[in-house]
Amino acid sequence: MNAQAPNSRGQQQEQWMDSSPKPRDWSWPFWHAVPLYPYGRRRTLCREILHHSIWTFDQLQGTLYTVVPIRMTVIKLSSGGFLVYAPVAPTRECIRILKELVALHGDVKYIILPTSSGLEHKVFVGPFARCFPSSQVFVAPHQWSFPFNLPLSWLGFPQKRTQVLPEDISEAPFSDDFDYAVLDINLGQGAFGEVALLHKRSRTLLVTDSILSVSEDPPAIVQLDPYPLLFHSRDNASEVIENNEANRRKGWQRISLFAIYFRPSALSMTGLWQMLRDALKAPDHSAKAYFGLFPFRWKENWKQSFDALRGQGRPFVAPILQTLILPQAPKQVLDWADKIATWDFQQIISCHFDSPIEVLPHQFRNCFNFLEKKPDTIVNISESPNHPLPEEDFRFIRELEAGLIRSGIATPVSEKASAATDSDIKGSFL
């Protein structure tokens, strides 16, 4: 396997592995199960995070060219072989790279599905496990699927090799190298679950969806095909965009605002007739360019919105989780975060956005301070002392929440928040 140059951030310990130039190696024939961009062609970028110890495998997912990384982490066990956290699509390219590592370090022994609700992670586990027939699969408790609640074997999980993660870590066969803490929230219609996994030797914490950090520049996996970046870097439908670093960065920053807020405050939408009139002037009317349809208008302050979102790379909890999910069980979440904060770690690898991110235990814990509010107050990370997320960018998600409460799907936060402690905020936000 050939290692390539360190990445642009100059992190010398990181090495890129060869990816395949052959499109047939990117093929993912089962994309219909979760029909997200890039559909049947998923490229993989593998990076060695820690020499002969930790590798990440990035692929891409999104809709309407709002594309973000989705990530699998592979960790070498002290006894040889690997533990795999949150598998991605087992394309020929992905499996070839991993089998090169297997030839050097031993087989895949354990596969972790660290979420009960994240279909974008769950859908790959069965097919991935079948590529490594001697592996054992461990899943977060209370698995469910939508729109039909199918048993895991129907989703392709190997029945005889799949089990729920033991409640007691000492019963897990990888407890010498790892610790874990399971967050398992009953949402009524299903569960939100996440397994935080600590690799003790490297002091690395793995999380799935709970913690994010947004990079200034587009991640490497997003730059392999810059079309989505350039699509979103435009200011109007008729603009012809040059493929250069500045435009790719601009596109990524707007994509980040979309992906995290859904409808950021710095965005306005044109009306239907204006959108159609603009489409007539568009230089490209292909299906790839959505026939020239481009209803987005960014306000002048969009870059300030992005800078506030990025907050110089500090970790944070996604607004959708802050608003809709985690306030449903604040005490459970805080207990989980408290437990993790007692562990010794120096970096986090998350399944989305930037990775790895330098985070200490108290900084991880502070990401959940938004839950430590008196009942009836609005949950808002913007009250954190540094790098607040602007309240106006939460508006769409709060409207979504109000709609779900009206329809009886969600419970008002005030009814749940009484379970949360009103303890002092511990430490300061990054």
Q: Which residues bind Fe ion (CB under 5 A)?
A: 118, 209
Contact between residue 218 and residue 68 where contact means Cβ atoms under 8 Å apart: no
Nearer to Fe ion, 350 or 369 (CB): 350
Q: State the nearest-atom distance from the C-beta of 337 to Fe ion, in Å.
A: 18
Q: How far apart are CA 217 and CA 196, in angstroms?
A: 27
Nearer to Fe ion, 121 or 314 (CB): 121
Nearest to 21 by CA among 96, 73, 100: 96
Nearer to Fe ion, 82 or 192 (CB): 192
Instruction: List C-alpha distances in Å: 122 to 2, 5, 48, 221.
Output: 31, 32, 24, 21
Nearer to Fe ion, 101 or 113 (CB): 113
Q: How far apart are CA 43 and CA 334, in angstroms?
A: 37
Q: State the nearest-atom distance from the C-beta of 85 to Fe ion, in Å.
A: 12
Q: State the nearest-atom distance from the C-beta of 74 to Fe ion, in Å.
A: 17
Structure tokens at 233: 């870097």
Nearer to Fe ion, 142 or 200 (CB): 142
Q: State the nearest-atom distance from the C-beta of 116 to Fe ion, in Å.
A: 12
Q: b vs e for 306-340, b when ≥16 Cβ sit within 10 Å of the residue's Cβ? A: bebbbbeebbbbbbbbbbbbbbbbbebbbebbeeb
Nearer to Fe ion, 77 or 321 (CB): 321
Nearer to Fe ion, 17 or 88 (CB): 88
Nearer to Fe ion, 118 or 127 (CB): 118
Q: State the nearest-atom distance from the C-beta of 70 to Fe ion, in Å.
A: 7
* Residue 253, SS3 per DSSP: helix
Q: How far apart are CA 232 and CA 159, in angstroms?
A: 43
Instruction: List C-alpha distances in Å: 110 to 54, 87, 164, 200.
Output: 15, 11, 12, 16
Q: State the nearest-atom distance from the C-beta of 139 to Fe ion, in Å.
A: 15
CA atoms within 13 A on the CB side of 263: 9
Q: State the nearest-atom distance from the C-beta of 360 to Fe ion, in Å.
A: 24
Sign for the pseudo-dihedral over CA of 398, 399, 401, 405: positive
C-alpha 182: how far from chain center: 17
Q: State the nearest-atom distance from the C-beta of 297 to Fe ion, in Å.
A: 29
Question: Phi/psi of residue 75, each to 5°?
Answer: -125, 130
